[in-house]
Amino acid sequence: MAAFTSLTDRLSQAFKHLRSKGKLSESDIDGTIREIRRALLDADVSLDVVRSFASRIRERALGEEVSQALNPAQQVVSIVNEELTKILGAGVDRPLNFAKKPPTVIMLAGLQGAGKTTLAGKLGYWLRDTGHTPLLVAADLQRPNAVTQLQVVGERAEVPVYAPEPGVQADSSDVVEPGQATGDPVKVAKDSIAFAQDKLYDTVIIDTAGRLGVDEQLMQQARNIRDAVNPNEILFVIDAMIGQDAVQTAKAFDEGVDFTGVVLSKLDGDARGGAALSVASVTGKPILFASTGEGLKDFEVFHPDRMASRILD
């Protein structure tokens, strides 16, 4: 995975040095931990996360499970794998939470450009592919063209879009000219649920507005949408390439809307995607999906153990 190639190379170097040692001394272990720390920090994993990760590895690596292992170096690698899985999973590996009584409501939140609209299409496509009947909802009325953009995405994914615009399936009374961003996103979101119930859509995916920075007014709007539709999932979408800002942004959205899960986007991007790896650990919320490109199929269900193994491959 492009976002982690450099991290993977560096960790594999560290383990290669360790494997050349045979029986491990405390200083061998400390040397390896130093290499791991540097690799993680250079990949933009946050300092707090790296510190506690390194201290857990050190404690376990100096303990009996390594000193008594037939292959101590391999045992250290297993420990790193287990601890990385914990970081990535916040102790949780769970599927999407579907409502007992449809429709399931999924709300997307995140900064502008994080990949929410793209994700709406991917999620819709994936749900349709797995036998669901999704509906996309354009509740980003802040940005000109956001509605049109979702409609394009919906068309590509062959998933209908509910939007406050003429000429679409919506029977909303809010009408805006194409390209104009007006209307009440809370009403659109609320009406879309009744529409889905009526037309038997089983999953509603609500795209919401995002700003370039965290914005209290938009956070309030997101809360109002949340409170109006009571989502089964609030997915926080984070661009893996935003670097160290990822942690602050995630915390702000966690406080702002109390999201239920994380989606890492743009993991196909640059080689410093480590900041995104801190998000689950910092917020205690699970990562549910990973987005790995602009295409509809560049998307996968996230499993912390599999991702850890890929990073350590």
Which residues lie near ligand GDP (CB under 6 A)? Answer: 110, 112-118, 210, 265-266, 268-269, 291-294, 298
Nearer to ligand GDP, 172 or 291 (CB): 291
Minimum distance, C-beta of residue 160 to ligand GDP, in the bound complex (Å): 18
Minimum distance, C-beta of residue 124 to ligand GDP, in the bound complex (Å): 13
Minimum distance, C-beta of residue 143 to ligand GDP, in the bound complex (Å): 8
Query: What distances in angstroms separate CA 225 from CA 183, 206, 208, one per listed residue?
Result: 13, 9, 9
Confirm whether residue 268 is marked as ligand binding.
Answer: yes
Confirm whether residue 209 is marked as ligand binding.
Answer: yes
Confirm whether residue 270 is marked as ligand binding.
Answer: no
Q: Tell me which long-range contacts 63-69 makes (C-beta under 8 A, separation of at least 24).
A: 66/24, 66/29, 67/24
Minimum distance, C-beta of residue 147 to ligand GDP, in the bound complex (Å): 12
Minimum distance, C-beta of residue 240 to ligand GDP, in the bound complex (Å): 8
Query: What distances in angstroms separate CA 160 from CA 111, 121, 188, 232, one per listed residue?
Result: 24, 10, 15, 20
Confirm whether residue 254 is marked as ligand binding.
Answer: no
Q: How far apart are CA 288 and CA 94, in angstroms?
A: 7
Characterize the bridge pairing of strands 203-208 and 299-301. unpaired
Nearer to ligand GDP, 94 or 297 (CB): 297
Tokens of 155: 């068309």
Confirm whether residue 210 is marked as ligand binding.
Answer: yes
Tokens of 77: 């690698």
Answer left, alpha or beta for residue 82, where phi above 0 means left and psi between -120 and 50 means alpha: alpha
Confirm whether residue 30 is marked as ligand binding.
Answer: no
* H helix or E strand, kind and range, residue 222: helix 216-229
Nearer to ligand GDP, 191 or 268 (CB): 268
Nearest to 7 by CA among 64, 47, 48, 45: 45
Confirm whether residue 167 is marked as ligand binding.
Answer: no
Nearer to ligand GDP, 149 or 172 (CB): 149
Nearer to ligand GDP, 47 or 301 (CB): 301
Q: What is the DSSP letter of 153?
A: H
Q: List the binding residues for GTP.
A: 110-117, 207-211, 265-268
